Amino acid sequence: MISLFYACNDDPLVIGFSPTIERLGAEEMIHTKDHKTAYIFDPWHFLGRKRRRLMDESWAALFREHILCELPVNKVAPYFSDGMGRPTKELYTALGVLVLQQMLDLTDEETVSQLAFNLQWHYALDIADETDEAKYLCAKTLWNLRSVVIENHLEQHLFERSTDVLARVFKVDTSKQRMDSVHIKSNMRRLGRIGIFAKSIHAFLVNLKRQHEESLGNLDQGLVERYLPEKALGCFSLVKPSEAEKTLERVSGDLFHLVQRFADDPQVSSMYSYRTMLRVLKEHCEIQEEEGGPAEVKVKPSREIPSDSLQNPSDPDATYDGHKGQGYQVQVMETYCTHEDEKERDKTLNLITHVEVQPACESDAHALIPALESAIERGLAPEEVLADSLYGSDDNCQKAEAMDIEIISPTMGSVKQETISLSEFRFSDRGKIIACPQGHVPVRTKHKKNRYTAAFECSDCTACPMRQGCPVKPGKKHCHLRYDDKTMRIANRRTIEHSAQFKEKYRWRAGVESTMSAYDRTTGVKRLRVRGFPAVRFCATLKAIGVNLMRATAVRKARRAGQDPAQGGRLSLQSVISVVKEHVASVWGVAKLIFSPFACPKGTFQAHFAL
């Protein structure tokens, strides 16, 4: 339970009273505002008709109308005390600030400034009060609130609530969806193997100096001077390729020496930096021990290093992907529209329905089923899902079929042109072969569990002109073709891939690449300011909310532009009042300029004309 969450000297000490604040008692500590109750008097009347129209067409209006009141304040409130410490900031505002910060890719300092002075933020967060309590949030408070959300994995609730609301408001058709992944990087430097060893030793020596300075003094000073100073680390980045192997052996030997030196010291061996060195040693080296001789360390070849090995001591959760490099990956599933008319597509919201952050070493094949289960649980289940071949494994297709979902995906690998595919054989309804591509009928067929065998006459196979590429293999008495259910399903899928119907459906998968591009251009997801899996997951998830919000804003604008003028052109009473007030204010301003001399203090008027 956090009780001193907002105890920051930068925040105002006086909490102003607002009639819209819900108070359960005279000294309530948790503040929430009722954003569903309308104002008696419009607090935004000063904007004028034109600026108000721009505001209502922006993302701020959409966020205020549909997202703000749905933020999961009830999930955050239990982590604060209602009887100890300072009162919290208004929690809807606080959670909204976290979403807007990630959507616009802002630093903490920029976020504080935007909340204090940006009118669009005030409109989006429904802040009408001109008080520091309402419009000021110090950087420490922002950091603490973000820590609460990250540590308790509450960003998923934020995403699901906002996505479900947009799906309902825009009546999104979730029957057709597509899925892909994007590689992202945390705020860490890319290190080679020498850099990983050197950085791990440096971090250990720094911590050893802080916590056990006496132990540091007992070490070889040459080793300490080689790794402890910051400037010394730069030497390892200047190693020539011809000297890389020799340098790697030396740094691995130094790391092994430190691990052995403090292995029996419980205080030092319990340090995080020591455990990091131990992890690097196990992942990159082999310890060779001979009877009667000292243990020696040998560096493993690069191909033997696991993909989930440490990439940088500053981010122990980052892993490696052989195709995309170091970092993390985000699994994204979204809806799509197949309408040929571009104007109709502009009026249809392509909504991101699922976001999941994974280590970069994870295979895409493991992400499909959890995404489908999540969509089904939230009532956003698809009927068809477009995905690339990694998602479309036979196992995934079978599991999806049990959920009444069709996976439209090409199969892995390819078949040589001169090879006869199993799909070219003729099958019965029960999956047994009734004829080969040349029309020869099998002598007998056998089915046991999920395996099939078809026997052909050797004389027919020997004289066959296609025997070089035929999967039928010669036996003692007959030539046999053996296959199972999985092989037959894959063969059938390969046949379907060449059909016009499959190509027409699958051509819409390419649109997910534009989503990944917008995901990065709009929110900067590919290069984050944070490190560690929990923080990366938080940022990537909230940035997906930003993409949905920006898309929904564009769709609403397109729908309003396409409305019938007879229906969309009618002015509401509030609009009429705004127009009248604007004209009255304009006339009043001119009148003040004309008659201002008559309002001058006594003596000023005569002095003016005397000049």
- Three-state SS string over 570-597 comes to CCCHHHHHHHHHHHHHHHHHHHHHHHHH
Are 145 and 200 within one domain? Answer: no
**Which of 120, 152, 184 is the last residue in one of the domains?**
152
5-22 per-position pLDDT tens digit: 333 334 433 333 333 444
- Cα distance between residue 63 and residue 43, in whole Å: 17
Are 14 and 137 within one domain? Answer: yes
Identify the pLDDT of residue 598: 53
Are 14 and 99 within one domain? Answer: yes
Are 36 and 131 within one domain? Answer: yes
Q: Residue 5 domain-assigned?
A: yes
The rounded Cα 356 to chain-centroid distance in angstroms is: 6
**Which of 239, 273, 304 is the last residue in one of the domains?**
304
- Cα distance between residue 545 and residue 379, in whole Å: 18
Instruction: Yes or no: say if 357 and 533 are a contact pair by the CB < 8 Å rule.
Output: yes
How many secondary structure helices (H) and strands (E) does the chain include?
27, 14
Q: Residue 185 domain-assigned?
A: no
Q: Residue 93 domain-assigned?
A: yes
Q: Residue 450 domain-assigned?
A: yes
* 29 Cβ contact list (under 8 Å, min separation 6): 80, 81, 82, 83, 84, 85, 86, 87, 88
Structural domain total, the chain = 4
- Cα distance between residue 268 and residue 213, in whole Å: 11
182 strand-pairing partners: 330
Are 205 and 115 within one domain? Answer: no
Q: List the one residue out of 37, 102, 35 whose CA is nearest residue 71.
A: 35
Are 469 and 602 within one domain? Answer: no
Are 141 and 220 within one domain? Answer: no
Are 146 and 13 within one domain? Answer: yes
Are 5 and 115 within one domain? Answer: yes
Residue showing tokens 């500590």: 29
Q: Residue 378 domain-assigned?
A: no
- DSSP string computed for 346-404: HTS---EEEEEEEETTS-GGGTHHHHHHHHHHTT---SEEE--TTT--HHHHHHHHHTT
Q: Residue 296 domain-assigned?
A: yes
**Which of 128, 152, 176 is the last residue in one of the domains?**
152
CB environment 251-262: b (16+ within 10 A), e (fewer): bbebbbebbeeb
Are 25 and 145 within one domain? Answer: yes
CB environment 167-180: b (16+ within 10 A), e (fewer): beebebbbebbbbb
Are 1 and 142 within one domain? Answer: yes
Q: Residue 289 domain-assigned?
A: yes
Would you state the structure tokens that stand for residue 70, as one six-digit string? 């749905």
Residue 592: CB atoms within 10 Å: 10
- Cα distance between residue 281 and residue 193, in whole Å: 11
Domain encompassing residue 85: 1-152
Q: List the one residue out of 421, 419, 397 whose CA is nearest residue 409.
A: 397
- Three-state SS string over 271-333 comes to CHHHHHHHHHHHHHEEEECCCCCCCEEEECCHHHCCCCCCCCCCCCCCEEECCCEEEEEEEEE
Identify the pLDDT of residue 8: 39
Residue 33 gets which letter from DSSP?
Answer: B
Sign of the alpha-carbon dihedral angle for 93, 95, 98, 101 = negative
313-365 per-position pLDDT tens digit: 999 999 999 888 999 999 999 999 999 888 899 999 999 999 999 999 999 99
The rounded Cα 432 to chain-centroid distance in angstroms is: 46
Q: Residue 387 domain-assigned?
A: no
* 342 Cβ contact list (under 8 Å, min separation 6): none
Pairing of strands 319-321, 433-435: unpaired
Mean pLDDT, the chain, rounded, equals 85
Identify the pLDDT of residue 231: 77
Residue 220, amino acid: D
Would you state the structure tokens that stand for residue 30, as one six-digit string? 């948790």
Identify the pLDDT of residue 323: 86
Low-confidence ranges of the chain (pLDDT < 50): 1-27, 567-571, 600, 602-611
Identify the pLDDT of residue 576: 62
Are 17 and 115 within one domain? Answer: yes
